[in-house]
């Protein structure tokens, strides 16, 4: 079956209609979530770098680090990031691990080993291993990149804590699901898992009063 890539707000709206038909429990979630943002980023190094920066930190911290990194680099491209020294990266607020990951990704793109636009056109089963071949880029980072920069319609980052909390609250579960449990739950929402992830991030933002979406509006 050919996947319908998520490129517009109309694609999100179509996905929500189908999700409600796939799982009646989502009617209430859709009602409480309010508007579900598209949040598409251009594919490329800048988008991947923003997701790496956002790993394991709050949205506010990630925004602050990104602004300092952009000021230090002038422009977030492989060439500009590779030109930064360790002190530049520390001053921006980057950990040593994130600095190394950003550099490895920059080297992979700069050398032609990784084409971040082409990888967005591949099936998830092929694209994710290509991204995670870069040390420091885990499955969560790869999935979020393909979801927001590639518009992939059927990816659900089950390792995302905000999604785990949102699904537990939205579906009335007794406890927060593990990544494995959430992956099993989300299978029912295929082939629109990418829209269901957006839905639950929107639900999380509405219910918890803070944005849990793991991308920077860069």
pLDDT value of position 2? 56
In a domain? residue 77: yes
Q: DSSP class of residue 3?
A: -
- Nearest one of 112, 50, 107 to 83, comparing CA atoms: 107
Q: Are residues 81 and 127 in the same domain?
A: yes
Please give the distance of CA 116 from its chain centroid, rounded to a whole number: 14
CATH assignment of the domain containing 30: 1.10.1670.40
In a domain? residue 143: yes
In a domain? residue 1: no
Q: Are residues 134 and 54 in the same domain?
A: yes
Quote the CA–CA distance of 203 and 184 in Å, as a whole number.
20
Weakly modelled stretches of the chain, pLDDT under 50 = 1
CATH assignment of the domain containing 98: 1.10.340.30
pLDDT digits (tens, 9 = 90+) for 162-200: 999 999 999 999 999 999 999 999 999 999 999 999 999
- Nearest one of 94, 89, 6 to 43, comparing CA atoms: 6
In a domain? residue 218: no
pLDDT value of position 134? 97
What angle, rounded to 10 degrees, do the helices at 161-170 and 193-208 form?
Answer: 80
Q: Residue-wise over 14-23: b if at least 16 C-beta within 10 A, else e? A: bbbeebbeee
In a domain? residue 201: yes
pLDDT value of position 1? 47
Residue where one domain finishes, among candidates 99, 120, 148: 148
pLDDT value of position 217? 62
In a domain? residue 200: yes
Mean pLDDT of the chain: 94
- For 49, the domain range is 45-148
Q: Are residues 120 and 134 in the same domain?
A: yes
Residue where one domain finishes, among candidates 133, 148, 163: 148
How many structural domains are present in the chain? 2
In a domain? residue 214: no
């Amino acid at each position: 079956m050919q996947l319908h890539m998520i490129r517009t707000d109309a694609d999100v709206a179509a996905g929500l209609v189908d999700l409600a038909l796939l799982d009646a429990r989502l009617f209430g979630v859709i009602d409480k979530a309010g508007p579900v943002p598209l949040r598409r980023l251009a594919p490329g190094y800048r988008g991947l770098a923003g997701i790496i920066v956002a790993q394991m930190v709050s949205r506010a911290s990630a925004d602050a680090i990104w602004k300092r990194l952009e000021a230090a680099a002038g422009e977030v491209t492989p060439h500009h990031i590779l030109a930064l020294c360790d002190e530049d990266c520390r001053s921006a607020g980057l950990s040593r691990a994130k600095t190394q990951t950003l550099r490895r990704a920059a080297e992979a793109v700069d050398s032609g080993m990784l084409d971040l636009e082409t990888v967005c056109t591949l099936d998830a089963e092929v694209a994710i291993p290509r991204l995670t071949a870069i040390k420091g880029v885990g499955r969560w980072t790869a999935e979020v990149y393909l979801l927001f920069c590639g518009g992939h319609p059927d990816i659900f980052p089950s390792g995302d804590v905000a999604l785990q909390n949102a699904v537990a609250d939205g579906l009335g579960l007794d406890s927060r699901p593990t990544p494995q449990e959430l992956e099993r739950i989300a299978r029912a929402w295929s082939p629109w898992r990418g829209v269901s992830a957006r839905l639950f991030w929107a639900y999380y933002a509405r219910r918890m009063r803070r944005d849990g979406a793991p991308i920077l509006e860069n």
